[in-house]
Amino acid sequence: MGEKNPASAGEKNPASAARTAAVVTVSDRAAAGVYEDATGPAVSALLAERGYEVVRALVVSDERAEIESALVHAAERDVALVVTCGGTGLSPRDVTPEATAAVCERMVPGIGEAMRAASMQVTSRACLSRATAGIRGRTLIVNLPGSPQAATENLEAVIDPIGHGLDTLRGGPMSCAR
């Protein structure tokens, strides 16, 4: 998927600007071309189905500096939602949560908690996820697991509240009532 310029996504209209997204797959093997990334495209498709314009999709290795750079770059381009895929487990190379925390000004722990709670209904191993979420400027960053199925299941668990959060973060409606 090619990179698009989010400035054309309608920055003067908060509703359209609030629906831009970037997907960052974190995988040494996919970055090295050992296998094709399947998770990023699955997450991008889900986001598109839910009304998001995916303006950037890329694969980076499990290097904290590369992850941080991708997150900062998206926030500097005023992308509303950045979703990472992978690097949330217990492997020594899994540093996505640390990279996310390093670039965020405020953390949103409830997103990771909600994803783990939903995933525990599917597998007891969900409690091993270290996925987190945070805010950099007007950008919400959310970590997802690396497998296509787990990533889409986790995103489905929080996509509705994320939409409301983005509306609030970007100056939209402030009511938390349904």
List, in order, residues 6 or more apart from 85 with CB less than 8 Å away: 23, 24, 25, 26, 27, 39, 40, 43, 144, 145, 146, 151
Phi/psi at 93 (5° precision): -85, -10
Tens digit of each residue's pLDDT (9 = 90 or more) over 23-50: 999 999 999 999 999 999 999 999 999 9
pLDDT at residue 172 in the model: 76
- 97 located within any domain: yes
- 178 located within any domain: no
Tens digit of each residue's pLDDT (9 = 90 or more) over 87-119: 999 999 999 999 999 999 999 999 999 999 999
Whole domain around residue 59: which residue ranges?
A: 6-169
pTM for this model (two decimals): 0.89
Tens digit of each residue's pLDDT (9 = 90 or more) over 113-163: 999 999 999 999 999 999 999 999 999 999 999 999 999 999 999 999 999
Q: How confident is the model at residue 18 (pLDDT cuts 50, 70, 90)?
A: low
Average pLDDT, the chain: 90
Question: What whole-number percentage of the chain has pLDDT above 70?
Answer: 87
- 16 located within any domain: yes
Angle subtended by helix axes 148-169 and 39-49, to nearest 10:
40
- 103 located within any domain: yes
CATH number for the domain harbouring residue 100 = 3.40.980.10
The dihedral over CA atoms of 22, 28, 32, 33, expressed in degrees to the nearest 10, equals: -70
- 141 located within any domain: yes
- 175 located within any domain: no
- 120 located within any domain: yes
Phi/psi at 133 (5° precision): -150, 150
* Count: domains in the chain: 1
Buried residues in 44-74 as b, exposed as e (16+ CB within 10 A) = bebbeeeebbbbbbbbbbbbeebbbebbbeb
Q: Tell me: pLDDT of 78 over 60.
A: yes
- 138 located within any domain: yes
